[in-house]
Chains A and B, each alone.
Chain A
């Protein structure tokens, strides 16, 4: 008898990095066709398409993609949800299948970012000839840089520093965050699809170009090009497919999307903690597992300072215990709860809308036992997390087919 579970049938990520000879649609097509092939299905079998391309959110990437891979008349949902865009696309396809609207769907995220500078959190206003208050703060000139910072590296630097202050850390914060980055860069050497596969020493990381203290350049997510796509299928449909398709299918044990609940300081510094904790709680409950059951975690290390707080937000450690968790070696690939064995956003790269599907691809790759040199042996269950400022948080828990 079929359950209402939804499964990942096929999934793919392109090489992340610089793709000078491919445009956005080329990358999206490559990921979509490979995900379909991986699942042993075709575009004609898809009942829904959800797609995201944040840097050109009004461009209708879903329809552009259809013109390359198959115009079958199905509904397209073009989604934009900051860095959670890919996870949102997957969740839209998941919900359509879960609701019984169709039995298979395709989700795609794609971005071309090579050469982009640092991303700002808000639009900048030019300084005019005479001071004229405008906007909701009645500002007469640009405030970014004059009243704190809206740049991503600066915002997430403060998020990490705030955590250390709150939990009375008395060590050297700069070095602590550099060592988190050291781990992810070391992990990336085993991932041929990562944009950068270069090991760094802690000293090299600390002596690199400072972007926003304590984040130096290797501690920031790498702007690059890339795409990822996934085919989801209903339990009933999966049961009609071949034995290999059933064996390689990965169960979506939980799919959760949250936004930030109101809190005192969230108007001042985006609170990336509460919505992640909220999403994790819901996901563990839906999946019927706890953080101790996870064999691997891909979390949103857009900056080294962010990774630390998410150990705590995802409850991989006791509350307030993220530093001890890291110091114990737990998040290294041979530790208790390997985190970002792909190399994370700092080395694998962060083509924004692709990220939320690419981290699920990484988890699926291990659960299927297909991760080669970087395989986490015997992985049965994993978690993928993304956060987009503004904010939106996606958490997916994935389980190997029994």
Chain B
């Protein structure tokens, strides 16, 4: 199998793919990026928190114009994963309002973004309909 690297460091490919957030030990606020201090309580201690892989689509759009290399149209949205909001595309379904609907149940899914010159595959994630 080709060597793999996650598209972003908060996607964990250990075992079943899942997302990992930096959680403030003071107030529980979660961040997917590196933070110098917590935007909610200004605390500086963080621990890793595993995000549930299933959730509900709370908002979406279907984007028709994007940067070169990004296939359009695609559905982008916000998924509520057990109280943690996650930004992602809705994948493995047609990007139209008949197939992508507010409140739909979805689960995390991964795909290959592409391979670099050494053959390493970058692995991206999205959410697919839970059927």
* A, B co-complexed: yes
Which A positions have Cβ atoms within 8 angstroms of B?
Answer: 118, 120, 124, 127-131, 133, 136-149, 151, 153-155, 157-159, 161-162, 164-166, 174, 209-215, 262, 264-265, 267-269
Q: In the complex, which of the residues A130, A139, A161, A262 contacts B7, with contact meaning CB atoms closer than 8 Å?
A: A139
Q: Are B78 and A141 in contact (CB under 8 A)?
A: no
Q: Are A212 and B87 in contact (CB under 8 A)?
A: no
Q: Are B124 and A147 in contact (CB under 8 A)?
A: yes
The residue in chain A whose Cβ has the minimal distance to the Cβ of B89 is A148
Q: How far is the CA of A170 from the CA of B102 in the complex (A)?
A: 10
Q: How far is the CA of A128 from the CA of B115 in the complex (A)?
A: 11
* Residue B129 at the chain A interface, CB threshold 8 Å: no
Q: List 8 other contacts, CB 8 Å, given A148-B88, A149-B61.
A: A139-B7, A141-B122, A144-B67, A162-B58, A213-B62, A214-B61, A215-B61, A262-B39
20 A–B contacts from the bound complex (CB under 8 Å): A133-B5, A133-B9, A137-B8, A140-B6, A142-B70, A145-B76, A146-B113, A147-B8, A147-B88, A147-B89, A147-B125, A148-B77, A149-B61, A157-B61, A212-B61, A214-B61, A262-B29, A267-B31, A267-B32, A267-B33
Q: In the complex, which of the residues A133, A139, A146, A158 contacts B59, with contact meaning CB atoms closer than 8 Å?
A: A158
> Which A residues are CB-close (under 8 A) to B62?
210, 212-213
CB distance from A371 to the nearest CB of B (A): 35
> Which A residues are CB-close (under 8 A) to B15?
none
CB distance from A122 to the nearest CB of B (A): 11
> Which B residues are CB-close (under 8 A) to A164?
102
Q: Are A161 and B60 in contact (CB under 8 A)?
A: yes
Q: Are B77 and A158 in contact (CB under 8 A)?
A: yes
Q: Are B67 and A124 in contact (CB under 8 A)?
A: yes
> Which B residues are CB-close (under 8 A) to A149?
61, 63, 66, 76
Q: How far is the CA of A235 from the CA of B59 in the complex (A)?
A: 47
Q: Are B33 and A151 in contact (CB under 8 A)?
A: no
Q: Are B32 and A137 in contact (CB under 8 A)?
A: yes
The residue in chain B whose Cβ has the minimal distance to the Cβ of A146 is B124
Encoded as 1 (CB less than 8 Å from any A CB) or 0, chain B from 51 to 74 comes to 000000011111111110110011
> Which B residues are CB-close (under 8 A) to A129?
116-117
Closest 9 CB pairs of A and B: A138-B9, A145-B70, A157-B61, A162-B59, A265-B85, A213-B62, A148-B87, A136-B33, A158-B59
Q: Are B97 and A174 in contact (CB under 8 A)?
A: yes
Q: Are A213 and B122 in contact (CB under 8 A)?
A: no
> Which A residues are CB-close (under 8 A) to B9?
133, 137-139
| Given A148-B88, A268-B87, A165:B97 Cβ within 8 A | no
Q: Are A139 and B8 in contact (CB under 8 A)?
A: yes
| Given A133-B9, A138-B9, A165-B58, A145:B88 Cβ within 8 A | no
Q: Are A145 and B74 in contact (CB under 8 A)?
A: yes
> Which B residues are CB-close (under 8 A) to A154?
61, 63, 76
Q: How far is the CA of A147 from the CA of B87 in the complex (A)?
A: 6
Q: Are B76 and A141 in contact (CB under 8 A)?
A: no
Q: In the complex, which of the residues B59, B60, B61, B67 contacts A142, with contact meaning CB atoms closer than 8 Å?
A: B67
Q: Are A269 and B87 in contact (CB under 8 A)?
A: yes
Q: How far is the CA of A144 from the CA of B67 in the complex (A)?
A: 8
CB distance from A211 to the nearest CB of B (A): 6
Q: Are A269 and B32 in contact (CB under 8 A)?
A: no
Q: Are A212 and B113 in contact (CB under 8 A)?
A: no
CB distance from B80 to the nearest CB of A (A): 8
CB distance from B14 to the nearest CB of A (A): 15
Q: Are A212 and B59 in contact (CB under 8 A)?
A: no
Q: Are B89 and A146 in contact (CB under 8 A)?
A: yes
CB distance from B87 to the nearest CB of A (A): 4
Q: Are B66 and A144 in contact (CB under 8 A)?
A: yes
Q: In the complex, which of the residues A120, A124, A140, A262 contacts B40, with contact meaning CB atoms closer than 8 Å?
A: A262
Q: How far is the CA of A124 from the CA of B67 in the complex (A)?
A: 8
Q: Are B64 and A212 in contact (CB under 8 A)?
A: yes
- Interface core residue of B7, B59, B65, B114 (most chain A CB under 10 Å): B59
> Which B residues are CB-close (under 8 A) to A120?
67
Q: How far is the CA of A154 from the CA of B88 in the complex (A)?
A: 12
| Given A144-B67, A147-B89, A268-B87, A137:B10 Cβ within 8 A | yes
Q: How far is the CA of A211 from the CA of B61 in the complex (A)?
A: 10
Q: Are B61 and A146 in contact (CB under 8 A)?
A: no
Q: How far is the CA of A164 from the CA of B97 in the complex (A)?
A: 14
> Which A residues are CB-close (under 8 A) to B74?
145
> Which B residues are CB-close (under 8 A) to A269?
59, 78, 85, 87
* Residue B86 at the chain A interface, CB threshold 8 Å: yes
* Residue B92 at the chain A interface, CB threshold 8 Å: no
CB distance from A40 to the nearest CB of B (A): 47
